[in-house]
Structure 1
Amino acid sequence: MSLEAEEKLTASKEDIEEAEKFKTQANECFKKQDFNTAIELYTKAIEKNPYLAVYYANRSFAYLKTECFGYALSDASKAIELDKTYVKGFYRRATANMSLGKWKEALKDYEYVTKVRPTDKDAKLKYNECNKIVKKIAFEKAISVEDNKKNIADTINLEAMSIENDYIGPELENGKVTVNFMLGLMDLYKNQGKLHRKYAYKILLDIKSYFMKQPSLIDVSIGDNDKFTVCGDVHGQFYDLMNIFELNGLPSETNPYLFNGDFVDRGSFSVECIFTLFGFKLLYPNHFFMSRGNHESATMNQMYGFDGEVKSKYTAQMAELFTEVYNWLPLAHCLNKRVIVMHGGLFSRDDVTLEEIRKIDRNRQPPEEGPMCELLWSDPQPQNGRAPSKRGVGCQFGPDVTNQFLELNKLDYVIRSHEVKNDGYEVAHNGKCITVFSAPNYCDTMGNKGAFITLNGKDMIPNYTTYEAVPHPNVKPMAYANTLLSLMC
């Protein structure tokens, strides 16, 4: 008998009963979509009785719901280690790997499930869907060798696109975005209309040309008496984006904004969000700023809905063009040489400088490690030091890491996004690391508030405005997401 098996036999009856109580409470919280409390309770169950696979599998599922894919993967693997016949553990691990874009690993687990449960229709469906994706990726990789120099933007022929007589939406004036165009575009979208493909393509081509000329780190100057607004993730929640403008005023040369990544995915009005934001960027290039988020990437877009939404509302060609555009989005902004803003967070190295960020070669899909990856994926943690990321990508960094980075680069504090917060924002690391998240009631389930930050150039003190979600048309989040995600067990 192994040592672990012997230890398992020594678990007291009281601990076993206590663990079951915690699991029951956790399950209730999970049903109410209070996933963070569920995680805490599953953890208590594990502390009382760390030998039951179901506790780890359940916590893995809760971690999946909170996008802690790295932790979810670890828990699922632990469940399998404890019980190699526990099918749900393989399901969870497959889902975690899939969420991290590790399709081959996910396919192995689905394949195992179909072998041990040959009559399980759900398992067979997931295996087939995952297998399709693996084959599709392999095919695309094969042909990409031939098309390596192919540039989608160069294949777009705007002249060949005619405007139909029955089109009633806004029109570019001499090929340019104007205030009237933007007002018309927002009204069109509020009424669930669609921008003509010719204008949509023109905006994408123009915005790509603009971003290609920008460095990876943008310096932003704010006058002493000028207001500046920083928004976090909006994730395709167009009607909440409109509410931000209602509360804080439309973007203009006297009302500048920075949107800090994750404009798309999950919410099913991502096309409306991104064309509104790109339109304002073209209208006010020196007073409207956009940072790349981890969801401005091909893998995330294929999984979480944006790719499917663009193909549904426009074409597969446009979806590819978006990928090209996103590769050129700046990675960070420095406000008045005092505040750095990036989507994710800080680094696994202590010596990263603003100059290094400025020179990052960003025209690519996010790598799995290094400064570019960490700018998009990292998260703060309350304790000092660093830890592996709960997401499985990037790193977690403590207050000492933040202080050292700020001192090295002579900065006051960091603003980042990337994480749902109940109040829409969170101040951590003794006020030196601020999270802002602008998608209220994220995915129509989380019940969180949204927030944005306003500051002025003189003192750069952050002020927080919070707000609730507003109604939207009856199109559910993830409506265009990968089929496998909607099948998640």
Structure 2
Amino acid sequence: MAETPEANGASPSSSTENGATSSSSTANGLSDAEQLKNEANQTFKDKHFTKAVDLYTQAIELTPGNAILYANRAAAHVRLENYGSALADATSAIDKDPKYIKGYYRRADANLGLGKVRNALNDFRRAAKEHPRDPDLRKKLEQCEREVKRLRFKEALATPNEVPVAQQIDLSSMPVEDSYDGPRMEGSEEEGYRLTRDFITAMMEHFRRQKTIHKRFAFQIILEATELLRKSPSLVDVAIPAQGGFTVCGDVHGQFYDLLHIFELNGLPSEENPYLFNGDFVDRGSFSVEVILTLMAWRVLLPKHMHMARGNHESKGMNKIYGFEGEVKAKYNATMAELFREAFCWLPLAHCLNGKVLVLHGGLFSRDGVTLDDLRAIDRCREPPEEGLMCELLWSDPQAQDGRSPSKRGVGVAFGPDVTQRFLEANGLQLLIRSHEVKEEGYEVEHNGYCITVFSAPNYCDQMGNKGAFIRFKGADMAPNFTTYPASPHPNVRPMAYASSFMGGIFGG
């Protein structure tokens, strides 16, 4: 019930905004709105969610008292991960019709998307009061209650000075059995193992065949990558020689076979072919373990030529909702999931290329005057906060109009061309590169050419139909050059296959 838009009928509040009897013009408006709603519903089913939002908006303009339209538009916003807009629409649906159950469903979905499980539970409880016999609602309510109890139990057990998981792992307790038929690092149990280029390429081919590497090697990759990340600053300055090149990739989101395609198109990482992957390596796609181990392995082998920045999905809350935590536990164990959480907290937040191009995952800030030194000073080793510079650089998005607006996501801000220009001028920069948003062509140039979005997960979640892209720079001029590509075939494993049935049912493809 919670996953599809309302197809027929009208809510009790959908006659006219002031309750007057219908006239000829009102009847025409209702008829047009119903037609737009039906078209929007079909567009939603076809997974064209941005177009569905536009059509629902047109219908709302004709019949602003219709709770169904707001709830349906909220459902489309949830699929687009615009949780702030979804919360606003769901609240409007409830205001129009307090007994309309899907209004509470949609608001709960939006709160779950933001990791606010307790708020979602409140909405499920309110809906249950209105519809106590609805079986699907009772199931959702029970699942949400169990999740809140689990969170409370874990919080009660937490101690303020826990020993990091990385310090508790003993690699010598993980012998590589003779029966293991996957790639092996150079060395031995007695002498220790060493990561090599041959191992990484063999590991990638092993992953391509849907096999996992031995946990001994997987843990070593994460531990060595974590140690390197710990030594990195929050803002990394990258020097690109005049004759050298540099590639920036956006979100990959667990789409391992598309990552392989990037390397086929642009070459494997090397000293002559450096990369920056700009966050959101995991979640959504169900090959996130393969993606993150591959990137971390290259990071260990090429510490000065493979760079990784944190995205908003490199966080515990997002990983629990969108599948990565479940995937790690299914392919390895809970200890590794905790180790990844620690590693993500050490990821740098931004990179400055040749002092000219700033690359960060989300966007700019809720106030002017932020400097690169402010970014360098961020204490990043923590879960992302709900406000402040760290939150905003992970979550914010550009907007077409000048100034700032509340974020459609419910976190961060929307910032205009004037904000971008002032920030770049104040910091002596010429370009802002960010990711974080699906783009039809894989990239989009905005803000008079000063802000570029790059997104590297084509046909995102197997449903968006977008291309992927990466950006190639030459050190001599630092002008962006774009490569786009379609989605690559992958095994028949759906997005978010490892998310819980509760979360996956709401946010799955």
Q: What TM-score results when the alignment is normalised by the length of structure 1?
A: 0.97
The structural deviation recorded for 1:208 is 1.0
Aligned counterparts of 1:39 and 1:325: Cα–Cα separation in 2: 37
Identify the match of residue 233 of structure 1 among 241, 251, 254. 251
Q: Report if the CA contact (8 A) 1:241-1:273 is conserved.
A: yes
1:317 aligned partner: 335
2:104 aligned partner: 90
| Alignment CA distance shift 1:350-1:8 (3 Å) | farther
2:115 aligned partner: 101
Using the TM superposition, name which of 375-384 and 112-121 deviates more. Answer: 112-121
The structural deviation recorded for 1:136 is 1.1
Aligned counterparts of 2:358 and 2:404: Cα–Cα separation in 1: 20
Q: Identify unmatched segments of 5+ residues in structure 2.
A: 1-12, 188-192
Aligned counterparts of 1:234 and 1:257: Cα–Cα separation in 2: 13
2:204 aligned partner: 186
Map 1:406-417 onto structure 2 (within 5 A): 406-417=424-435
The structural deviation recorded for 1:23 is 1.1
2:465 equivalent to 1:447: yes
| DSSP-derived class of the 2:264 partner | helix
Q: Report if the CA contact (8 A) 1:129-1:483 is conserved.
A: no
Q: Report if the CA contact (8 A) 1:8-1:51 is conserved.
A: no
Identify the match of residue 445 of structure 2 among 419, 427, 436. 427
Identify the match of residue 267 of structure 1 among 262, 282, 285. 285
Identify the match of residue 7 of structure 1 among 8, 18, 36. 18
Identify the match of residue 287 of structure 1 among 305, 326, 334. 305
| DSSP-derived class of the 2:205 partner | helix
Q: CA deviation digits over 1:349-394, x for unaligned, max 9? A: 1011001101100000000001100111000000000011100011
Using the TM superposition, name which of 14-23 and 466-475 deviates more. Answer: 14-23
2:409 equivalent to 1:383: no
| DSSP-derived class of the 2:470 partner | strand
Aligned counterparts of 2:94 and 2:376: Cα–Cα separation in 1: 44
Structure 2 counterpart of 1:55, one-letter code: L
2:456 equivalent to 1:438: yes
2:175 aligned partner: 162
Aligned counterparts of 1:186 and 1:466: Cα–Cα separation in 2: 22
Using the TM superposition, name which of 108-117 and 204-213 deviates more. Answer: 108-117
Aligned counterparts of 2:256 and 2:160: Cα–Cα separation in 1: 35
The structural deviation recorded for 1:9 is 2.4
1:113 aligned partner: 127
1:336 aligned partner: 354
| DSSP-derived class of the 2:506 partner | coil
1:202 aligned partner: 220
Q: Report if the CA contact (8 A) 2:396-2:411 is conserved.
A: yes
Q: Report if the CA contact (8 A) 1:346-1:375 is conserved.
A: yes
2:163 aligned partner: 150
The structural deviation recorded for 1:15 is 2.0
The structural deviation recorded for 1:27 is 1.2
| DSSP-derived class of the 1:487 partner | helix
Q: Report if the CA contact (8 A) 2:16-2:63 is conserved.
A: no
The structural deviation recorded for 1:487 is 2.7
Aligned counterparts of 2:345 and 2:301: Cα–Cα separation in 1: 21
The structural deviation recorded for 1:6 is 6.5
1:464 aligned partner: 482
Structure 1 counterpart of 2:71, one-letter code: A
2:269 equivalent to 1:251: yes
1:212 aligned partner: 230
Identify the match of residue 140 of structure 2 among 101, 121, 126. 126
Structure 2 counterpart of 1:464, one-letter code: F
Identify the match of residue 53 of structure 1 among 67, 74, 90. 67
Aligned counterparts of 1:385 and 1:354: Cα–Cα separation in 2: 21
The structural deviation recorded for 1:147 is 5.3
2:4 aligned partner: none
Q: Identify unmatched segments of 5+ residues in structure 1.
A: none
Using the TM superposition, name which of 264-273 and 204-213 deviates more. Answer: 204-213
Q: Report if the CA contact (8 A) 2:322-2:504 is conserved.
A: no
The structural deviation recorded for 1:16 is 1.9
2:42 equivalent to 1:31: no
Quote the RMSD (CA, aligned, Å). 1.5
Q: Report if the CA contact (8 A) 2:17-2:63 is conserved.
A: no
Aligned counterparts of 1:58 and 1:93: Cα–Cα separation in 2: 11
1:370 aligned partner: 388
| DSSP-derived class of the 2:295 partner | helix
Using the TM superposition, name which of 415-424 and 126-135 deviates more. Answer: 126-135
2:77 equivalent to 1:63: yes
Aligned counterparts of 2:374 and 2:195: Cα–Cα separation in 1: 34
Structure 1 counterpart of 2:390, one-letter code: M
Q: Determine what percentage of the aligned residue pairs are the same residue.
A: 56
Map 1:69-84 onto structure 2 (within 5 A): 69-84=83-98
Structure 1 counterpart of 2:457, one-letter code: A
The structural deviation recorded for 1:112 is 2.3
Q: CA deviation digits over 1:299-355, x for unaligned, max 9? A: 000000000000000110110111000000000000000000001000001011001
Aligned counterparts of 1:194 and 1:169: Cα–Cα separation in 2: 8
The structural deviation recorded for 1:395 is 0.5
Q: What TM-score results when the alignment is normalised by the length of structure 2?
A: 0.93
Aligned counterparts of 2:74 and 2:131: Cα–Cα separation in 1: 22
Structure 2 counterpart of 1:29, one-letter code: T
Q: CA deviation digits over 1:146-182, x for unaligned, max 9? A: 2533211111011111111111222222432211111
The structural deviation recorded for 1:484 is 1.7
| DSSP-derived class of the 1:7 partner | coil
| DSSP-derived class of the 1:125 partner | helix
| DSSP-derived class of the 1:435 partner | strand
Identify the match of residue 41 of structure 1 among 48, 51, 55. 55
Q: How many residues align?
A: 486
Q: Report if the CA contact (8 A) 2:239-2:353 is conserved.
A: yes
Aligned counterparts of 2:460 and 2:201: Cα–Cα separation in 1: 26
1:307 aligned partner: 325
Q: CA deviation digits over 1:31-86, x for unaligned, max 9? A: 11111111001001111110010010000001011110100010000000000000
Q: Report if the CA contact (8 A) 1:453-1:465 is conserved.
A: yes
Aligned counterparts of 2:387 and 2:81: Cα–Cα separation in 1: 18
